[in-house]
Amino acid sequence: MYHDLYRGLNLKPENLTAYDSPLVSFDRKVIIPRGLIRLPVQAGSEVVEMDFIMVDAYSPYTAIVARSWLHDLGLVSFTLHLKVKYPSRDRIEELVGSQSMARQCLVATIMHQLAAESSTSAEGGL
């Protein structure tokens, strides 16, 4: 879970429990998590308790879910269609993502990386 979402949910630093295993970001930087919090997550009609590791790093996403969440729901992913399906009581439910939102996240990530690279090269030139 990224810091913007954590703050947006009005969660406080004291709500976190210790989590000291470093993570590697998508741009290969080592990130030290701020802590761990367990929260209920609703997917359609199902509610699953999930552990979130809170990090203070840039991301166009609000959170990234782990395979354990996918497993807990019995979820099957269709990445090409930005869709997941899972059994719920007596039927199959599905969650559908947004192609335009996925594109916006990709563009935001590329722009952030370009800005980071240009600031790094500007610092190196001083």
Helix (H), strand (E) counts: the chain:
3, 7
At residue 79, the 3 state secondary structure works out as helix
Instruction: Quote the pLDDT of residue 17.
Output: 95
Q: How far apart are CA 39 and CA 1, in angstroms?
A: 11
One digit per residue, the tens of pLDDT, for the chain of length 126 reads: 888 889 889 999 899 999 989 988 777 889 899 999 999 988 777 788 889 999 988 777 778 777 777 787 787 777 777 788 888 888 888 878 777 877 787 787 778 778 877 776 666 655
Tokens 């979402």, located at residue: 5
Of 18, 11, 51, the closest CA to residue 32 belongs to: 18
Query: Sign of the CA dihedral 38, 95, 77, 33?
Result: negative
Q: How far apart are CA 5 and CA 26, in angstroms?
A: 18
Q: Is the distance from CB of 64 to CB of 57 less than 8 angstroms?
A: no
Tokens 């030139």, located at residue: 125
Predicted TM-score (pTM) of this structure: 0.66
Q: In the Cβ-directed half-sphere of 26, how many Cα atoms lie within 13 Å?
A: 11
